Amino acid sequence: MYLLDGAIRNYAWGSHQELAALRGESVPTHHPEAELWFGAHPGDPAVLADNSGRTLLDVISDNPHKELGNAISQKFSQQLPFLLKILAAEEPLSLQAHPSLSQAQLGYARENAAGIPLDAPHRNYHDDNHKPELIVALTRFEALAGFRTPTRTLDLLDALAVEAMDPYTEMLRAEPDANGIRALMTTLITLPRKQLATLIDAMEDAARRLVAEDSEWSDVAFSFLKLVAEYGVDAGALCALLLNRITLQPGEAIFMGAGVLHAYLHGVGVEIMANSDNVLRGGLTPKHVDVPELMQVLHFEPLENPVLPATKVLRTNAGNVPDGEGVDCYEYHTPVPEFFLSRCRIQPDVTTTLDVEGPFILMVTKGTVTLTQDGESGYLDVPSGHAAWMGDWEQRPRMSTGEEPASVFVARVPRK
């Protein structure tokens, strides 16, 4: 077992409060802290908390078959296939989508053949992997996720009642399906800047009216106004009006597969994804936006309910409390082979066996848990904002809490 210190990523949209408070450090921080990475990603691997200077990447690279197990090591080229992180969004992230595995492989090969440097700002594909991702809310979490059903989007556009928008609204009314969404999205994202500015001005006035009226679309209108205030004349703000605007409560999740247009707006969540840097942006960012490539990647089928339900785990307890008491665990099932995430809330003074096959990363988001192994004299205290690595070769540990409850997330590779 290794205690891990996460790698802080400082992006402008991050928080000066949330990640530092979760780690028990002083706030506000000097720079915004956007993400806390726990993984073996070469860009910023977690560091062992033993002052050795070694990282989790070093541990796995030194003996991948031992740490990952033979099956996982062979399947994923001797690499941990997922990245676990805590994300704290104070401001909206860019509007984006991720390619499928086949699209990533083709795009990566194509840009390599064209001689585009990996660090070129206009490069789309930085590796040949896909990037499905799951995020579980730790706080109230606001996001845009997938295209809304056309009938509901028409309801929104009718409520806005902007005359300059009418020609575009009629495009969707004529084809209230995926084809209509594609046509409208393509038109909005390619509008000339002068025409775009005029349309956004008119839509701002209508959005302010909806907010003042406290209508059913007030949250959507408020988000649109915030995006315009942050990014100005940006087609991404108009395209955002086509997406589901959702609010997750703590414990609720969304899964973003290939081709799903999305943006995280505000909140703190635990995110797990396949190891990849492939992002196709659709606006709300100063970074490169490749509209033709984005349109090739996007799925335009409506996503009626983006929220992924958690499954309560029926467990056989091996600790000091009766079955079903003291520990509540939930799992998040996704269709990808790279990761599987579960979360547990553990009441004070509880000891239980962590019935999970390795290898895995256990991350604590509240309280402190102590990990011990039968027959071993050592133990590992894992406080909030830290994580532990457990290799495939190690015994399943026992997990206990002190006088305070604890919340943990366990990330592993599914055994399928």
Domain chopping of the chain, boundaries: 2-144+248-284, 149-241, 311-412
Higher pLDDT, 353 or 162: 162
Helix (H) / strand (E) element for 398: namely strand 398-401
3-state DSSP assignment of residue 16: coil
> If you average pLDDT over residues 384-409, what whole number do you get?
93
Do 2-144+248-284 and 311-412 come out as alike in CATH topology? yes
What residues pair up with 88 in beta bridges, in sequence order? 268
Provide the Cα torsion 50, 54, 59, 62; round to 10°. Answer: -140
Identify whether 281 is a catalytic site residue.
Answer: yes
| Contact of 86 with 35, CB cutoff 8 Å | yes
Would the pLDDT of 21 be above 90? yes
The pTM for the full model equals 0.94
| Contact of 364 with 407, CB cutoff 8 Å | yes
Q: Which CATH number fits the domain 2-144+248-284, given the four candidates 1.20.1250.20, 3.40.50.720, 2.60.120.10, 3.40.50.1100?
A: 2.60.120.10
Q: Residue 358: pLDDT band by 50, 70, 90 thresholds?
A: confident
3-state DSSP assignment of residue 201: helix
Site of tokens 């003074």: 349
- Residue 254 and residue 66: Cα distance in Å, rounded? 33
Share of the chain above pLDDT 70, in %: 96
Q: What is the pLDDT of residues 96-137, one digit of tens each?
A: 999 999 999 999 999 999 999 999 999 999 999 999 999 999
pLDDT of residue 303: 95
pLDDT of residue 47: 97
- Residue 55 and residue 174: Cα distance in Å, rounded? 56
Would the pLDDT of 185 be above 80? yes
311-412 sits in which CATH class? mainly beta
The DSSP secondary-structure symbol of 239 reads H
pLDDT of residue 317: 53
Q: What is the pLDDT of residues 243-291, one digit of tens each?
A: 999 999 999 999 999 999 999 999 999 999 999 989 999 999 999 999 9
Would the pLDDT of 325 be above 80? no
Strands 35-39 and 243-248: unpaired
- The active-site residue out of 123, 281, 343, 412 is 281
> If you average pLDDT over residues 222-249, what whole number do you get?
97
Would the pLDDT of 376 be above 90? no
